[in-house]
Structure 1
């Protein structure tokens, strides 16, 4: 009888781990409450606008930077978006 009473303890570990995993998965994923973008959102395609005018051409790898880039000037690159509630 003592051999059978310890069996539930061996089964409680994997069962508890499985239950905890499922609880945490459901808690953080909220799969039953999340927004299903692919099914609930209509995206309408519009014709492409623009032109095919050639601006310049770079051959080979002589240029390592793009002319006029603002990588180092982060204050010019990152700007605040004005709020409408103002």
Structure 2
């Protein structure tokens, strides 16, 4: 028996680690199943409408976020076409 017969076992470690990393990456990212809203969504801009009536005023607030904002809910802000 030669010393080269065990080299496949040493090569199996890095190859297995790479395969495991890729499988976990694909499982959690779901890049093939996610809606790519940047490419698949059109946003039609309309004319700006509104008025100049003062609605309210906030002074001295320490809040860093606006209540009810949808900054992180991009799938609700931008709807797909069709």
TM-score of the aligned structures, taking structure 1 as reference length: 0.54
CA–CA distance in structure 1, aligned partners of residues 32 and 45 of structure 2: 29
Judged with a 3 Å threshold, the aligned counterparts in structure 2 of structure 1 residues 78 and 41 are, in CA distance, closer, same or farther, namely: closer
Judged with a 3 Å threshold, the aligned counterparts in structure 2 of structure 1 residues 36 and 78 are, in CA distance, closer, same or farther, namely: closer
What stretches of structure 1 of length at least 5 have no aligned partner?
53-65, 72-76, 80-86
Alignment length (residue pairs): 61
What stretches of structure 2 of length at least 5 have no aligned partner?
53-57, 69-82
Kindly provide the CA deviation profile for residues 9-66 of structure 1, in whole angstroms up to 9, marking residues without a partner as x. Answer: 11001100010011001111111111111111111233445689xxxxxxxxxxxxx7
Note the aligned Cα RMSD (angstroms). Answer: 2.9
Which structure has the greater CA radius of gyration?
Answer: 1
Judged with a 3 Å threshold, the aligned counterparts in structure 2 of structure 1 residues 4 and 70 are, in CA distance, closer, same or farther, namely: closer
